[in-house]
Chain A
Amino acid sequence: DVKVTQSSRYLVKRTGEKVFLECVQDMDHENMFWYRQDPGLGLRLIYFSYDVKMKEKGDIPEGYSVSREKKERFSLILESASTNQTSMYLCASSPQRYTATYEQYFGPGTRLTVT
């Protein structure tokens, strides 16, 4: 079974703090994704990576950065957390074979609250 794990289920941080969200997958997938999910707005892609040290911006990259030093690990960094970054953060991975791009496997999510 594909397993995608995220470092925390719940996180509370203060405005201005630097926040690290970690994601690890154990299926040797090339593609990894960070989304946020908010009521009424659905899933929105922040960043994705299709290889180690490679990253691409999604729809809403402002205020975030990412790091992929190893194939299995994809980190999301909030450089200076703000209250509008309070959200559910979801990591996903997918194999890089044709037809499989939308076969994405998600972690349990991190519910981040910024106060």
Chain B
Amino acid sequence: DAKTTQPTSMDCAEGRAANLPCNHSTISGNEYVYWYRQIHSQGPQYIIHGLKNNETNEMASLIITEDRKSSTLILPHATLRDTAVYYCIVRVASNAGNMLTFGGGTRLMVKP
């Protein structure tokens, strides 16, 4: 699995867009980029995933560079409830059950 690098922490003002970067320069052609977050004392929450096209859902947008070596998760209008640790992971897709593992992640603090 490709290694990912994320900033340790970021701040964002409430109501502004939060842009969380992730580097995955060793990503291979069949690996997907997944984003999760974990709010303190809660279970992890799936946000979005993508292969090479940009993706958007009700929670966030995922922008993947053309060379696929990095991506950015965008929370368009951050709220205080978006304060969490955000994890970027890169994995080969399959139908089988697979273990999810998280690296250090980015601790996003949304401030009033």
A residues whose Cβ falls under 8 Å from a Cβ of B: 4, 31, 33, 35, 42-43, 45, 48-50, 56, 58-59, 90, 92, 94, 96-109
- Choose among B34, B43, B45, B95 the residue with the greatest number of A CB atoms under 10 Å from its CB: B43
Chain B at the A interface: SS class: loop
Q: Point out the residue from B42, B49, B96, B102 that lies within 8 Å of A109, measured CB to CB.
A: B42
Taking the nearest CB of chain A, how far is it from the CB of B38, in angstroms? 9
Contact between B34 and A98, CB atoms less than 8 A apart: no
Q: In chain B, what residue has the closest Cβ to A105?
A: B46
Contact between A103 and B34, CB atoms less than 8 A apart: yes
Binary contact track B89-103/A, C-beta < 8 Å → 1, others 0: 101011111111110
Q: A90-B43, A98-B93 are in contact. List 10 more A-B contacts (CB 8 A).
A: A31-B97, A33-B100, A43-B102, A50-B96, A94-B97, A98-B95, A99-B32, A102-B91, A109-B41, A109-B42
Contact between A58 and B99, CB atoms less than 8 A apart: yes
**Complex Cα spacing A56 to B32, Å:** 24
Residues of chain A contacted by B34 (CB below 8 angstroms)? 102-103
Given contacts A92-B43, A109-B42, contact A103 B49 (CB under 8 A): yes
Interface size on B, residues (CB 8 A): 22
Residues of chain B contacted by A50 (CB below 8 angstroms)? 96-97
Q: Point out the residue from A49, A56, A90, A98 that lies within 8 Å of B44, measured CB to CB.
A: A90
Contact between A101 and B93, CB atoms less than 8 A apart: yes
Q: In chain A, what residue has the closest Cβ to B42?
A: A108
Q: In chain A, what residue has the closest Cβ to B44?
A: A106
Shortest 6 CB-CB distances between A and B: which pairs? Answer: A106-B43, A48-B97, A45-B99, A99-B93, A109-B43, A31-B97
CB under 8 Å from chain A, chain B span 28-82: 32, 34, 41-46, 49, 51
Q: In chain A, what residue has the closest Cβ to B99?
A: A45
